[in-house]
Structure 1
Amino acid sequence: MSIQEQTPVTDPQTDTATAPEPTAPQGVREAVLAAASAARDAQPALARLTRDRKDAVLLAMAEALVARADEIVTANARDIEAADAAGIEAGLRDRLLLTPERVGSIAQQLRDAAALPDPVGEVVRGSILRNGLELRQMRVPLGVIGMVYEARPNVTVDAAGLALKSGNAVVLRGGSAALHSNTALIAVLRSVLAEQGLPEDLVIGIDEHGRDGVGVLMTARGLVDVLIPRGGAGLIARVVENSTVPVIETGTGNTHILVDASADLEAAADIVVNAKTHRIGVCNALETLLVHRGVAERALPLLAERLAAKDVTLHADDTAQEILAAAGTAARVVPATSQDWETEYLSLDLAVKVVEDFDEALAHIRAHSTGHTESILTRDLESQRRFLAEVDSAVVMANASTRFSDGGEFGFGAEIGISTQKLHARGPMGLPEMTTTKWIVVGQGHVRP
């Protein structure tokens, strides 16, 4: 649709409605397209590398990050200072913060990626046809990947590492809040590429071009093969609704846990507290708790006390409020509004609803889930079976914390995001999801009769 016909989208920094996508200044447009073109020109160099060679590059990058950790942390301190002055939310600040230990963890992600099998060249299926033609479907790189994300410096390295291992060049736009951090990280990665005799433009950043730069990247069809947005609802909506480049949508995490009538309440309390408070600023953190009416009067006071110890505020529906008031809980309880069922808080807030039965729980999840991760806590095998079969999210669990919805926890190594779409990739995206396939056909002078 034309720009005039586009509906307003949500600003990635403020989550408020914005006007349709503006036209970028000519200088920004030229610079971003030049960056994408440079990445495209650089990408074939990876096709000539063996797995051992790619792994050596990743390991060298890991060593360089550790060696230059002080430089990276110093750059990050500038971003943190600006974030604090702007009153950034606690969850977002936590994602932005880099320490020497976190830089070490980011470097370890590269080592982990190096240890993983190389997906490029894997034969997905193949056969010899009746006429003697040899047919193979083989994994190949996507080409040039554009990553658009917010205040997550670790994504800069994860995306670069996964892209390189899977044979892709990557154009990175990590947002103004992490400008200095991302600039420092990309400088380290590019220096290693140069030292290894590879084009620096296999990893290239466009943060300095700001929001306008994202708009250009979204229309760089023919130079960029796929865009992956990773961040808040506003950012993802902007990219999905305005991009002419194909998009792999990584959705927001309005995740649910259902405490079923048969749940082990002590185990449920441990799981709920872990899912909500283990790390609040991530997409697999619990945001909505559903409690079956048959167990609510026993479960809610226990859960509330455990959550109160972690300073969680409960946004409770009428029934949950009545039960908690009668129990005299010390938890902070506020009335839930319809907006609470749609909210990814990324904070110490939790929506709480009492459902009359299992079917109401499923209906609520269908109506409000973002398709990321849902879990049921139950000892009833039929309830477990129905939940796993009927809930249509990328990751569906039973008797486990939603915090396990993660590529690293799944054994994939570093992930580039968790896809909530249904085409090509769904759930945690590791190396295989960074590839597509092509058909290899080998004949001996065959002609079609």
Structure 2
Amino acid sequence: MSMEAEIRALAQETRRASRQVANLSTTVKDRVLMAMAEALVARKEFIQAENEKDLAAGRQKGLSAAMLDRLALSDKVLDSMVAGLKEVAALPDPVGEISEMVRRPSGIMVGRMRIPLGVIGMIYESRPNVTVDAAALCLKAGNAVILRGGSEALHSNLALARVLQDCLAAEEIAPAAIQVIPVTDREAVTCMLRLEEEIDLIIPRGGEGLIRFVAENSRIPVLKHYKGVCHVFVDESADLEMAANIVINGKIQRPGVCNALECLLVHRAVAAEFLPAIGARLAVAGVEMRGCPQTLALAPTAKPAAEEDWGMEFLDLILAVKVVNDIDEAMAHIVRYGSQHTEVIVTSNHPRAQRFIREVDASSVMVNASTRFSDGGQYGLGAEIGISTTKLHAYGPMGLRELTTRKFIVYGEGQVRV
């Protein structure tokens, strides 16, 4: 069987399973999720033995310590996966929710019902815990899922999928509702992206290169998130101690994630007071500042910024810094260099805060808070399958509701259109 035929057959099997999953009751879905949590604990030795095969291969290939850490299914990582399954089980089920029922002049009642999307295709790199997170969220939202993880995690992903599939089978649910593509050949991804009749949505998670490849080659709608170039604008009315804490948290807590702070914009009226102080704190924390000429004059530790530093997702202890004349210049900079991920204003001026909220186009816009809050868990979604920086059909962190859509429903009493 050719690669294309193999992937198509797998997807067709998942499509058939999706019809069963879409009609599962909340009780059954939650019971399966709890069984999955128990199974991860019971079969820990099997999972970690398969994970060790990936780790051994990674060490032989010379993967970095950071990459190996992302790949490892330690007791701590497994515990977090178990907790995640239980958390998803406890979330409200969005499927079947009816809203906006209104009676029309014709006498018919028209409303909308929330329904699953169908089959989700997940393409992701490294972390095998994504396999469980994605499967749990898709199942709770009534979807089947096809998972294509990184080649470096193949044994781990297949082992996790087997454990989850066994739990489905125990409830007489088609195991094909959760599938892992079992080959590492990149051609499998290309084949997957052509199956618009079998897969309803593609969600890529990983580096910008992966996401652009998926977006450029897919016949299926793609929820994209190329990069997170997040800004903080310190307004002239800002509480400067608050601003400093927000900057430090945004840049230092986890610099390698998409909601980390990458560029600081400072109003010229407070730059002389704020930049020397924040520069000193950042230097102590090991952050390299790359600044405009005004920044260099006020922060001795800063280095000159190159043009490519504006709009750069550093994912490291590096911060671009620019002094701006006013909120208009700050927003113009964000329009030019932002990535529609997360943008923050620090201000005590309410009209200015409201203007920033209204006019800045990003999936999360914040007032007086760290960019690090841009996260499904922090927003109360319980868990997220990713962050979308496109607007169709979701914008920002995606939880259960974003894995569903809505159909119109109509109740009549024999009405006919005239």
What range describes the TM-score normalised by the shorter chain of this pair?
A: over 0.9
**Counterpart residue type for residue 443 of structure 1:** G
List aligned pairs for 1:390-405, cutoff 5 A.
390-405=359-374
Unaligned residue ranges in structure 2 (runs of 5+): none
Deviates more, 1:413-422 or 1:123-132: 123-132
Give the paired residue count.
Answer: 418
The question of 1:41 aligning with 2:13 is answered: no
- Specify the alignment match of 2:143 in structure 1: 168
Distance 1:231 1:62, change over 3 A: same
Measured in 2, the distance between the counterparts of 1:83 and 1:273 equals 34
Given that 1:91 and 1:346 are in contact with CA atoms closer than 8 Å, whether structure 2 keeps it comes out as: no
- Specify the alignment match of 1:12 in structure 2: none
Measured in 1, the distance between the counterparts of 2:263 and 2:61 equals 28
- Specify the alignment match of 1:10 in structure 2: none
Deviates more, 1:69-78 or 1:169-178: 69-78
Unaligned residue ranges in structure 1 (runs of 5+): 1-25
- Specify the alignment match of 2:313 in structure 1: 344
Distance 1:177 1:337, change over 3 A: farther
The question of 1:440 aligning with 2:409 is answered: yes
Aligned partner of residue 102 in structure 2, secondary structure: strand
One of 116, 119, 123 as aligned partner of 2:94: 119
Aligned partner of residue 43 in structure 1, secondary structure: helix
One of 376, 388, 396 as aligned partner of 2:357: 388
Aligned partner of residue 294 in structure 1, secondary structure: helix
Measured in 1, the distance between the counterparts of 2:407 and 2:165 equals 30
- Specify the alignment match of 1:142 in structure 2: 117
- Specify the alignment match of 1:420 in structure 2: 389
Given that 1:172 and 1:207 are in contact with CA atoms closer than 8 Å, whether structure 2 keeps it comes out as: no
Measured in 2, the distance between the counterparts of 1:90 and 1:308 equals 25
**Counterpart residue type for residue 208 of structure 1:** V
Shift of 1:235: 1.5
Given that 1:394 and 1:420 are in contact with CA atoms closer than 8 Å, whether structure 2 keeps it comes out as: yes
Measured in 1, the distance between the counterparts of 2:219 and 2:38 equals 38
Measured in 1, the distance between the counterparts of 2:339 and 2:229 equals 6
The question of 1:411 aligning with 2:380 is answered: yes
Distance 1:376 1:177, change over 3 A: farther
Deviates more, 1:291-300 or 1:387-396: 291-300
Given that 1:254 and 1:286 are in contact with CA atoms closer than 8 Å, whether structure 2 keeps it comes out as: yes
Measured in 1, the distance between the counterparts of 2:195 and 2:393 equals 21
One of 376, 384, 390 as aligned partner of 2:345: 376
List aligned pairs for 1:257-296, cutoff 5 A.
257-296=232-271
Shift of 1:405: 0.6
Identity of aligned residues (%): 50
The question of 1:366 aligning with 2:366 is answered: no
Given that 1:91 and 1:280 are in contact with CA atoms closer than 8 Å, whether structure 2 keeps it comes out as: no
Shift of 1:309: 3.1
Shift of 1:307: 2.2
Shift of 1:145: 0.6
Aligned partner of residue 96 in structure 2, secondary structure: coil
- Specify the alignment match of 1:202 in structure 2: 177
Shift of 1:222: 0.4
Shift of 1:138: 0.6
The question of 1:213 aligning with 2:188 is answered: yes
Distance 1:319 1:89, change over 3 A: farther
Given that 1:377 and 1:399 are in contact with CA atoms closer than 8 Å, whether structure 2 keeps it comes out as: yes
Measured in 2, the distance between the counterparts of 1:179 and 1:309 equals 41
Measured in 1, the distance between the counterparts of 2:171 and 2:226 equals 36
Measured in 2, the distance between the counterparts of 1:32 and 1:218 equals 10
Given that 1:95 and 1:281 are in contact with CA atoms closer than 8 Å, whether structure 2 keeps it comes out as: no
Measured in 2, the distance between the counterparts of 1:40 and 1:399 equals 45
**Counterpart residue type for residue 88 of structure 2:** A
Measured in 2, the distance between the counterparts of 1:57 and 1:413 equals 18
Measured in 2, the distance between the counterparts of 1:88 and 1:254 equals 26
Measured in 1, the distance between the counterparts of 2:285 and 2:61 equals 25
Measured in 2, the distance between the counterparts of 1:317 and 1:426 equals 32
**Counterpart residue type for residue 93 of structure 2:** D
Aligned partner of residue 299 in structure 2, secondary structure: helix
Distance 1:311 1:293, change over 3 A: same
Given that 1:256 and 1:374 are in contact with CA atoms closer than 8 Å, whether structure 2 keeps it comes out as: yes
Given that 1:94 and 1:281 are in contact with CA atoms closer than 8 Å, whether structure 2 keeps it comes out as: no
Measured in 2, the distance between the counterparts of 1:315 and 1:92 equals 27
- Specify the alignment match of 2:292 in structure 1: 317
Distance 1:181 1:258, change over 3 A: farther
Measured in 1, the distance between the counterparts of 2:12 and 2:350 equals 54
Shift of 1:70: 4.3
- Specify the alignment match of 2:155 in structure 1: 180
Measured in 2, the distance between the counterparts of 1:180 and 1:136 equals 46
**Counterpart residue type for residue 216 of structure 1:** C
Measured in 2, the distance between the counterparts of 1:87 and 1:308 equals 32
Q: TM-score, normalised by structure 2?
A: 0.93
Distance 1:277 1:188, change over 3 A: farther
Shift of 1:132: 3.5
